[in-house]
Structure 1
Amino acid sequence: MHFFVWQLKTIKRYAIIVLLALVCALFLWIGQFNSLSVFSSENGPEALSKGDDKQAAVALTFNISWGTEKVNAVLKQLADHDVQATFFVSGEWAERHPELMKKINEGEHEIGMMGYRYTSYLEQQPEQIRKDLNYAKEIFDKLGYEDLTLLRPPHGHFNKEVLEIADEKGYDVVQWSVNPRDWENPGTEQIVDHVMSKSSKGDIILLHASDSAKQTPKALDTILPGLKGKGLKFVRVTDMVAGSEANAQEIN
């Protein structure tokens, strides 16, 4: 009788252990798909425009399509303030400036792409878009960036068809929720005021490191410590997406 009771207790203990192991495995398996759900819904692929507003974090993103004068100044500000960002670059720019690509990568910044040529996808036929994305991938692969998954369409222009093509090619489309239009050079104070007043938990901030954005490096000297002072942490886009309930932009 005692032996029988001991067997039952042993079996029960092992059953609990197995059950817990299965539950843990299930959570890990589901976790692999958390980021996928951010970029898709029952209506198809979507564009990420904002992260989880329950997380005290913002993602700082920079577009680069031409010029080399402002990139180093932007990178210096990020390094001085110990901030990692996400850079979206055109394949054409990356091809021409591999040394700057290397510098961005060495700063532990994330790299996304904007296709090859910085031409609106809404002005191109589907096969032209596919061709542009394919050629951009060839260039980034040759430069050693084979695993790029983030795409910001040129000029931020997209529709449902562009989203479907991006998804077909394995890319997640990333937009933004805060845009001070720094490329228009409205004044350093105006750039700072816009970012500081509009940015909150989960926001994706759009700035530029192309030569057109002449006031951005100086603005960063105030923005970076200022947002930290608001209790916000800077994260890269993929870090923001991981495990978050991010907001996607729907296209009807």
Structure 2
Amino acid sequence: MTFYTWKAERLKRYGLVIILALFCALLLWVGQWSQLPVFSNDEEPRALTQGDEKQDLVALTFNISWGSDKVNEILKMLEAHKVQATFFVSGEWADRHPDLLSKIQKAEHEIGMMGFGYESYLEMKPEEINADIRQAKKVFDKLGYENVRWIRPPHGHMDKDVLKRIDQEGLQAVQWSINPRDWENPGTNRIIDQVVNKTSKGDIVLLHASDSVKQTPKALEVILPALKQKGLKLVSISELVSGSESKTSQVN
């Protein structure tokens, strides 16, 4: 009788060990799946709006649709502070300024697209959206940028159908969570205050590098070190979403 009791206790202990091992394996499996790209959505495509609020990462992004002067100033500022960013450029701009696009890439910044002609997708027919994206893709492919994966719809205009068209073309839509509206040139100090005071973990900051911005380069002199002093690391969109639980927005 003592033998059977000892055997039962032993089996119980082994069973508990096996259950704990299976539980740990399940946690590891769930953790692995949580690292999948944030756009793995069984329902419908969504736009990335923010990264993981638990990580000290912030994505600095710049839109460029025309001009060639300000981008050089901004690149110098980013280099001086050793910051990598993501530049969203229109296909038309890329086609006109392949030298600047190459300069952006050589500085190890990430390149995203904004379609070809920088016209609102909400004012286009569905098939025109696909055609605009494909035209932009041809430009980037021709210039040797075949792995562009991010797109910011022109003017940030999108709805469910626009996101569906973007998904059909194998791209991921990116919005933003911080927008100081620097293209309005509201004043250097206002741009600084809007970015420094409001930016926190996981944010995507929208700035511009077209010639329309007059105050952004000077504002960056303060913004870049100030965000670092807040304990934030400035990264590309890809680095922001890699291994993070990023947020996507539902578009009506």
Q: TM-score, normalised by structure 1?
A: 0.87
Partner of 1:79: 79
Partner of 1:249: 249
**Structure 1 residues 40, 158: closer, same or farther in 2, change over 3 A?**
farther
Partner of 2:166: 166
- Tell me the secondary structure at the aligned position of residue 44 of structure 1: coil
Partner of 1:96: 96
Partner of 2:13: none
Confirm whether residue 219 of structure 1 aligns to residue 191 of structure 2: no
**Match runs of 1:1-252 below 5 Å:** 30=32, 34-35=36-37, 38-252=38-252
1:43 is displaced (CA, Å) by: 3.0
**Structure 1 residues 106, 32: closer, same or farther in 2, change over 3 A?**
farther
Q: d(CA) in 2 for partners of 1:92 and 1:208?
A: 16
Partner of 1:6: none
Q: d(CA) in 1 for partners of 2:41 and 2:34?
A: 16
Q: d(CA) in 1 for partners of 2:31 and 2:91?
A: 34
1:251 is displaced (CA, Å) by: 1.3
| CA RMSD, 1 decimal | 2.0
Aligned length: 230
- Tell me the secondary structure at the aligned position of residue 176 of structure 2: coil
Residues 70 and 210 in structure 2, CA contact (< 8 A), matched pair in contact too = yes
- Tell me the secondary structure at the aligned position of residue 88 of structure 2: strand
Q: What is the CA deviation profile of residues 210-243 of structure 1, one whole-angstrom value per residue up to 9, with x for unaligned ones?
A: 0011100000000000000000001110111011
Q: What is the CA deviation profile of residues 61-106 of structure 1, one whole-angstrom value per residue up to 9, with x for unaligned ones?
A: 0000000110000000000000000000000000000000000000
Q: d(CA) in 1 for partners of 2:214 and 2:145?
A: 28
Residues 35 and 243 in structure 2, CA contact (< 8 A), matched pair in contact too = no
Partner of 1:11: none
Residues 39 and 173 in structure 1, CA contact (< 8 A), matched pair in contact too = no
1:48 is displaced (CA, Å) by: 0.3
Residues 31 and 243 in structure 1, CA contact (< 8 A), matched pair in contact too = no
| Structure 2 unaligned spans of 5+ | 1-17
Structure with the greater alpha carbon radius of gyration: 2
Q: What is the CA deviation profile of residues 14-56 of structure 1, one whole-angstrom value per residue up to 9, with x for unaligned ones?
A: xx9xx99xx69x8599559711xx1243431100000000001
Q: d(CA) in 1 for partners of 2:251 and 2:204?
A: 19
- Tell me the secondary structure at the aligned position of residue 111 of structure 1: strand
Residues 40 and 46 in structure 1, CA contact (< 8 A), matched pair in contact too = no
Partner of 1:3: none
Q: d(CA) in 2 for partners of 1:27 and 1:83?
A: 34
1:203 is displaced (CA, Å) by: 0.1
Aligned-pair identity in percent equals 60
Residues 35 and 244 in structure 2, CA contact (< 8 A), matched pair in contact too = no
Partner of 1:12: none
Partner of 2:4: none
Q: d(CA) in 2 for partners of 1:191 and 1:118?
A: 24
Q: d(CA) in 2 for partners of 1:28 and 1:145?
A: 34
